[in-house]
Amino acid sequence: MRCPDANPHLRRCRGVSLVELVLGIALLGIVLAGGSLFFYGQQKQRLDPVFQVRAVSLAQALSEQIIAVKFDEHNKPEQQSLCATNCTNAHQFGPDGGETVAGDFDDVDDFHVWCEPNGIGGDQLAAAMGLDARYYQGYRVSVCVSEGSAAIYKVVEIKVTPPAGAGIDFALHRYNIR
């Protein structure tokens, strides 16, 4: 663009060059991309607390069920006798004959069947415990049981992995009191 009346040494009337136009468009693209990535990250962080609350509620329901059952298969609560030397060995942890679902588990080490990598889907576990399974689709739960020191308690490690995000770990100590 030329300015007929203007001094040829002044650049005020010349307009925008092609290089300036390309740089302006590139800069605008970078700003828009950065802004959209910022808002995309914010949206993901908004959902994390929802997943975490559901993971905690699933772990709490499972913990209550684990605490409600007896310590060992050899304990006889009706006779008020506890296993001392004849408790189930750690390499035999898992469900006893005929126990296939969570409702059939009658002692703590039965839950060891879900130890990693044999975890259970959160929706399956929720349905077995009477919770609404729709809320726990995509969750993964693993339960590992091990003996504590001197075999007076068992350590139950629960890991709930939400659909998005890292797993949340919980640990219970179940003492031989019934």
DSSP string, 24-76: HHHHHHHHHHHHHHHHHHHHHHHHHHHHHHHHHHHHHHHHHHHHHSBS-TT-B
Assign 24 a pLDDT band (cuts: 50, 70, 90).
very high
Average pLDDT, the chain: 81
Backbone angles phi, psi at 70, to 5 degrees: -75, 165
Q: Is the pLDDT of residue 85 over 90?
A: no
Mean pLDDT of 22-36: 92
Higher pLDDT, 23 or 105: 23
Higher pLDDT, 147 or 23: 23
Q: Is the pLDDT of residue 141 over 80?
A: yes
The pLDDT score that the predictor gives to residue 81 is 66
* Predicted structure pTM score: 0.67
Highest mean pLDDT among 80-84, 88-92, 150-154: 150-154
Assign 136 a pLDDT band (cuts: 50, 70, 90).
very high
Mean pLDDT of 98-124: 81
- Decide if 160 contacts 63 (C-beta within 8 A): no
* Cα gap 103→25, rounded to integer Å: 63
Q: pLDDT for 58-72, tens place per residue?
A: 999 999 998 988 887
Residue of 90, 86, 81, 77 whose CA lies nearest to 155: 90
